[in-house]
C-alpha cells in the first residue's frame, strides 16, 4: 500500500523522484509521538534511489536554470499559494508526525513555510544585486549563477519549516534539489512534493528520498554529482557529513546544536525575563536555538526564580492538538530515553533538580515534565551537552565579566538572550558574546533578510538574504575592460 490517510489527506509513502513516485523494496514504520499510533510504512531509500534522484535532478538542472529568477519565481509563488491553500492539512499532518503544537503550526509555522518560499523567490528577482564597481576603468559585474544539485538533509524538530529555509533559496538560485527528510518525520515533505507538482515545478527539480541517515543520507552526501550540502542536525552527524563531503570538496552549510545562554542582569525587567525563560520549554525543548542555560545575577536570582516557577507551573502539557496545550510529547522513544538519561545521570551526580526531573506519569507515553536544574556543577554534562528536551539549567553570576565568561564557556555559539533594562549595559554585553544571533529583551524574532547560523561548533556558514544565495549559487565576477571594443 503506497498511500496512507493522515489528517484527512492522502499521503504517498514512496519517494518522489523525477516527478514520479518510486517505491523501495524495504520500508520502515512511522509512528505518531502523540500516542504511538501507527502512521504508515515508509519507503526506505538506499544508494539505488539516490542514484536515480541525482540523475533526475541533474537532467532537470539546465531547464530550471534557464528559466531565470522571474520564470522560476512565478512557479515558486504558485507553490507558496498552494502551501497556504493546504495550510490546515499541513498543520495537522505535521502535528501527527512530530508532536509539535497544532496551534503553532496553524498560526506561525505553516504560514512561515509559505513565506520562506515567497521571500527567496522575491529576493532572487528584486534584491540579488550588487552595484558594479570600477577598477582603473574596468567594471566588476557580480552575478549569482545556479550551481547544480543540492543535497538537503533536515531534522525532525520543525520538519517543513527548516526544509523550506533551504528549499526556498536553492530553488530560487536555479539549483535542483534532493531532500532527505528526517526518518521520524517524513510526511510533510511527501505532501509538499505533491504541491510542487501541482504548482507546475518541472519534474526532477524537486526530489524527496526518504530513509535513514546512515543509508539514504550517507549515499546522498557522498555522491560526486552534488554541488552543495545543506544540513541541520547534530554535531556528530555534521562531522560524518563533512568527511564525506571532503572527498568531492562539496561545499557545506551546517546549522547545528547549541547550549545557548539566557542572561538576566540585575537591571532586568524580571517579569519579562521570567516570561522569556519559560518560553525556552517551547516545542518540548526540541529547539536548536533554545536558551537552556539561564544565567541570573545573584542579587535578583531569588526573585527571578519565584517568578519563573510561578509561570512554569502554569505550563499545560498534553495533546498537541488541544489548543490549550503549551507543550506536547518528545519526538520518539529513542529521543525520550536520551533526555531521561541526561536527567537521571544529573540526579545520580548529585545535581539539584527543583522542578520536573521525570516523565509525566499522568500522561504516560513520550511526555517528559518541564525540568529545572539549579546550580549545576560547572563543566558537568547537564550544563555543557545539548539535551534537546524540556531541561533548563539555572546558574548565578556576580559581575558582567563572570556572566560573559559563563555565557561563552561552551563549545557552541548559536544564540543568546540578554535581558537588561539599560541599553548601554546590553550593548556592552552583546559586543563580547559569541553567538550567531543575540536577542535583547526578546526571543525568536527571525527576519529572513538577516543572517542566521552558528559560531564555533554550532554551525558553518550563514543563511538568510544574500548569505543564502552566496552559498547555493556560484558567485561570479565578470570584469569588463574599457578597451578593445569595435563599436
Ligand atoms: P541527526 O543529526 O543524526 O539527524 C539529522 C538528519 O541527519 C536526519 O535527517 C538524519 O537522517 C540525517 N543523517 C544522520 N546520519 C547521517 C549521515 N551519516 N549522512 C547523512 N545524513 C545523516 O540528529 P538526531 O539523531 O535525530 O538527533 C540527535 C541530537 O541532535 C538531538 O538530541 C539534538 O541534540 C541534535 N539535533 C539538533 C537539531 C537542530 O535543530 N540543530 C535538530 C535535530 C537534532
Ligand atoms: Mg513520525
pLDDT tens per residue, the chain (487 residues)?
699 998 889 999 999 999 999 999 999 999 999 999 999 999 999 999 999 999 999 999 999 999 999 999 999 999 999 999 999 999 999 999 999 999 999 999 999 999 999 999 999 999 999 989 999 999 999 999 999 999 999 999 999 999 999 999 999 999 999 999 999 999 999 999 999 999 999 999 999 999 999 999 999 999 999 999 999 999 999 999 999 999 999 999 999 999 999 999 999 999 999 999 999 999 999 999 999 999 999 999 999 999 999 999 999 999 999 999 999 999 999 999 999 999 999 999 999 999 999 999 999 999 999 999 999 999 999 999 999 999 999 999 999 999 999 999 999 999 999 999 999 999 999 999 999 999 999 999 999 999 999 999 999 999 999 999 999 999 999 999 999 999 8
C-alpha cell recorded at residue 400: 558582567
CB 290 within 8 A of CB 458: no
Looking only at the bridges linking them, the beta strands covering 15-17 and 20-22 are antiparallel
Single out the residue of 68, 51, 47 nearest to residue 59, CA to CA: 51
What span, in angstroms and rounded, lies between the C-alpha atoms of 289 and 96? 23
Beta-ladder partners of 30? 40
CB 144 within 8 A of CB 125: no
Q: Find the catalytic residue in 183, 255, 386, 463.
A: 255
288 is an active site residue: yes
Return the ligand 1 atom nearest residue 180 CA. Answer: 9
CA of 470 to the centre of ligand 2 (A): 33
Look at residue 475 in the predicted model and tell me its pLDDT: 97
- Taking CA atoms, 168 is separated from 222, 273, 406, in Å, by 23, 34, 37
CB 418 within 8 A of CB 438: yes
State whether the beta carbon of 240 lies less than 6 angstroms from ligand 1.
Answer: yes
CB 146 within 8 A of CB 59: no
Neighbours of ion ligand 2 (CB under 5 A): 30, 97, 184
What span, in angstroms and rounded, lies between the C-alpha atoms of 157 and 430? 28
The single residue listed with the C-alpha cell 533559496 is 169
Look at residue 282 in the predicted model and tell me its pLDDT: 98
C-alpha cell recorded at residue 458: 554550532
Q: Find the catalytic residue in 49, 288, 386, 463.
A: 288
State whether the beta carbon of 264 lies less than 6 angstroms from ligand 1.
Answer: no
State whether the beta carbon of 153 lies less than 6 angstroms from ligand 1.
Answer: yes
CA of 75 to the centre of ligand 2 (A): 30
Who's near 484: CB < 8 A, 6+ residues apart? none
What span, in angstroms and rounded, lies between the C-alpha atoms of 193 and 185? 14
Q: What is the CB-side half-sphere exposure of residue 292 using CA atoms within 13 A? A: 31
State whether the beta carbon of 183 lies less than 6 angstroms from ligand 1.
Answer: yes
Who's near 423: CB < 8 A, 6+ residues apart? none
Take atom 15 of ligand 1 and give the residue whose Cα is closest: 213
Look at residue 6 in the predicted model and tell me its pLDDT: 87
CA-based diameter of the chain, in Å?
A: 84
CA of 420 to the centre of ligand 1 (A): 34
Beta-ladder partners of 231? 153, 254
What span, in angstroms and rounded, lies between the C-alpha atoms of 390 and 357? 9
Amino acid at each position: 500500500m503506497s498511500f496512507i490517510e493522515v489528517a484527512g489527506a492522502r499521503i504517498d509513502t514512496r519517494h518522489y523522484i523525477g516527478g514520479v513516485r518510486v517505491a523501495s523494496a524495504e520500508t520502515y514504520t512511522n509512528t505518531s509521538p502523540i500516542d504511538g499510533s501507527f502512521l504508515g510504512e515508509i519507503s526506505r531509500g538506499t544508494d539505488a534511489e539516490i542514484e536515480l534522484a541525482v540523475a533526475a535532478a541533474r537532467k532537470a538542472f539546465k531547464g530550471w536554470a534557464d528559466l531565470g529568477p522571474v520564470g522560476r519565481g512565478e512557479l515558486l509563488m504558485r507553490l507558496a499559494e498552494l502551501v497556504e491553500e493546504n495550510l490546515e492539512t499541513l498543520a495537522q499532518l505535521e502535528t501527527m508526525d512530530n508532536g509539535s503544537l497544532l496551534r503553532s503550526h496553524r498560526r506561525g509555522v505553516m504560514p512561515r513555510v509559505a513565506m520562506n518560499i515567497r521571500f527567496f523567490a522575491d529576493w532572487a528577482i528584486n534584491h540579488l544585486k550588487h552595484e558594479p564597481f570600477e577598477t582603473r576603468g574596468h567594471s566588476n559585474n557580480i552575478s549569482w549563477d545556479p550551481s547544480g544539485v543540492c543535497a538537503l538533509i533536515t531534522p525532525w524538530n520543525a520538519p517543513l519549516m527548516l526544509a523550506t529555509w533551504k528549499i526556498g533559496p536553492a530553488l530560487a538560485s536555479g539549483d535542483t534539489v534532493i531532500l532527505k527528510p528526517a526518518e521520524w518525520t517524513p510526511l510533510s515533505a511527501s505532501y509538499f512534493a505533491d504541491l510542487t507538482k501541482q504548482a507546475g515545478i518541472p519534474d526532477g527539480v524537486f526530489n524527496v528520498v526518504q530513509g535513514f541517515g546512515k543509508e539514504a543520507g550517507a549515499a546522498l552526501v557522498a555522491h560526486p554529482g552534488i554541488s552543495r550540502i545543506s544540513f541541520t542536525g547534530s554535531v556528530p552527524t555534521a562531522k560524518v557529513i563533512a568527511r564525506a563531503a571532503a572527498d568531492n570538496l562539496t561545499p557545506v552549510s551546517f546549522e547545528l546544536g547549541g547550549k545557548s545562554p539566557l542572561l538576566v542582569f540585575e537591571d532586568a525587567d524580571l517579569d519579562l525575563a521570567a516570561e522569556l525563560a519559560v518560553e525556552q520549554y517551547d516545542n518540548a525543548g526540541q529547539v536548536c536555538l533554545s536558551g537552556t542555560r539561564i544565567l541570573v545575577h545573584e542579587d535578583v536570582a531569588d526573585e527571578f526564580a519565584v517568578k519563573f516557577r510561578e509561570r512554569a507551573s502554569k505550563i499545560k502539557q498534553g495533546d498537541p492538538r488541544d489548543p490549550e496545550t503549551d507543550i506536547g510529547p518528545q519526538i520518539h522513544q529513542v529521543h525520550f530515553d536520551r533526555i531521561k538519561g541526561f536527567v537521571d545521570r544529573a540526579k545520580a551526580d548529585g545535581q539539584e533538580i527543583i522542578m520536573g526531573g521525570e516523565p509525566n506519569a499522568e500522561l504516560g507515553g513520550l511526555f517528559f515534565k518541564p525540568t529545572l536544574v539549579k546550580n549545576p556543577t560547572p563543566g558537568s554534562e547537564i550544563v555543557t551537552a545539548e539535551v534537546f528536551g524540556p531541561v533548563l539549567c539555572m546558574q548565578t553570576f556576580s559581575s558582567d565579566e563572570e556572566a560573559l565568561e559563563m555565557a561563552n564557556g561552551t563549545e557552541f555559539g548559536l544564540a543568546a538572550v540578554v535581558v537588561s533594562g539599560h541599553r548601554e549595559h546590553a550593548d556592552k554585553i552583546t559586543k563580547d558574546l559569541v553567538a550567531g544571533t543575540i536577542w535583547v529583551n526578546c526571543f525568536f524574532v527571525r527576519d529572513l533578510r538577516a543572517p542566521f547560523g552558528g559560531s564555533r561548533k554550532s554551525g558553518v556558514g550563514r543563511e538568510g538574504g544574500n548569505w543564502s544565495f552566496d552559498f547555493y549559487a556560484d558567485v561570479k565576477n565578470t570584469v569588463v575592460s574599457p578597451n578593445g571594443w569595435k563599436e
